[in-house]
Amino acid sequence: MKKIGYLWLVRLVSWLSHFRQSQQVIYLMSFADNLAFIEQLHQRVGDRLVVYYLPAAETGARKLLPAGITIRPFHDSLRFAVTGIPVLTAAADIYCDNYFAFTAGLKRRSTQRLIQLWHASGAIKAFGWGDPQTQQRSTADQQRFQAVYDQMTDFVVGSEKMGQVFASSYQLPKTRMRVLGYPRSDRYCQPDWVRATRAAIYAKYPALQGRDVILYAPTYRAGVTFTLPADFSQLKLADNQVLVLKLHPHLADQAQRLYERYPNLITLVPTFSTDELLTVTNTLISDYSSVIFDYALLPNCQKIVFFTFDWDSFQRSVGLQADFKQWAPGTFVKTTAALDQVLKQPANPSQLASFNQLWNTKNDGQATERTLDYFYPRSN
């Protein structure tokens, strides 16, 4: 009831203020990993841009201040409903990097664009109507979810495949999909960024240089304590291999506990993000995380292994794309013994080529430029 009451408040405030119009461009930030795009957007639209950021993205948002970009904190609250909703209602464009439930209550003009950038290049986990939890929700809840989906006028995607997933998961027409490339992916195709990031990591952690770095980056499991199989201690690394564990930032304490349990197997590199660590990774171990789509773009990408020891329970509770195993660019293993064997096997680059053709079609380093040119064409 609390969510429904807040949504009605948003609807009321938005309706009262929808007679006003502005040329402002709003960016709703929940992730702080698309800063380069935001800076380029600012160069294109100038001071029309205002970034509203959630508390978890504050550190990243503050990095935009030197560029002269206006930032404002927000979260679902009475204050935001009264002061922020009128601004969003009047805006010309609103960019989103996530699902924001309150957008269902916005009184959107026919000329206003709500542009979904999302936060992943591809999809492994089910979402929207593909999420098993959605089917168990009430009709009222389902209608609220669909209202959020319907508000989006444009979805920026990196491939026809991702566009199909969005259209199916949100029950929307494919005509709303813009295959322009995923702006956040540009850096993986920029040699200068890759070299600089790699150099910074080696400077801070020289023991990684010259080693066969295996990055273990499992997906975030909300509300669940991440645990490894009981026999994980039996994993045998070669002398030149180092296993770096990288959990979601919210699970830093859990990562530390796992390190304390397996000090001879696990290495922690807390200073750098998963995105950055990909630049020094020779083998990526994941499960259902979208990190594989980013890693596949890097020149150092050699091997991807899917360690899915909880496949059955994850499939039931969260859901997975039905064709996941058909296009996954690597081997699936469920046991530590099987993982041990796969880590000793040579890589198969041909799998990566077909995978990139399917999912990273337009993620070629020019996505930001194409996206900005599409929404804000340059005058000749």
Task: Please identify every stretch of the chain with a pLDDT value under 70, giving residue numbers as ranges.
Answer: 1, 380
CATH of the domain at 290: 3.40.50.12580
Cβ atoms < 10 Å from Cβ of 311: 16
- Asked whether residue 355 is assigned to any structural domain, the reply reads yes
- Asked whether residue 380 is assigned to any structural domain, the reply reads no
pLDDT of 359: 97
pLDDT of 204: 98
| Whether residue 155 is found in the same domain as residue 220 | no
| Whether residue 122 is found in the same domain as residue 239 | no
- Asked whether residue 259 is assigned to any structural domain, the reply reads yes
How many domains, the chain? Answer: 2
| Whether residue 169 is found in the same domain as residue 304 | no
Contact 85, 106 (CB under 8 A): yes
Burial group, residue 365, by CB count within 10 angstroms (0-12, 13-18, 19+): middle
| Whether residue 312 is found in the same domain as residue 218 | yes
| Whether residue 241 is found in the same domain as residue 345 | yes
CATH of the domain at 133: 3.40.50.11820
| Whether residue 143 is found in the same domain as residue 258 | no
Which residues does 316 contact at the CB level (< 8 Å), separation at least 6?
Answer: 132
- Asked whether residue 247 is assigned to any structural domain, the reply reads yes
Q: pTM here?
A: 0.94
- Asked whether residue 282 is assigned to any structural domain, the reply reads yes
| Whether residue 101 is found in the same domain as residue 128 | yes
Contact 370, 362 (CB under 8 A): yes
- Asked whether residue 305 is assigned to any structural domain, the reply reads yes
Its domain, for residue 172, covers: 2-186+364-375
3-state secondary structure of 94: strand
- Asked whether residue 319 is assigned to any structural domain, the reply reads yes
| Whether residue 34 is found in the same domain as residue 134 | yes
| Whether residue 82 is found in the same domain as residue 177 | yes
| Whether residue 212 is found in the same domain as residue 244 | yes
| Whether residue 12 is found in the same domain as residue 155 | yes
| Whether residue 346 is found in the same domain as residue 369 | no
Distance CA 376, CA 380 (A): 12
Q: What would the pLDDT profile of 302-317 be if each residue is shown by its tens digit?
A: 999 999 999 999 999 9
The token pair at 380 is 């000749």
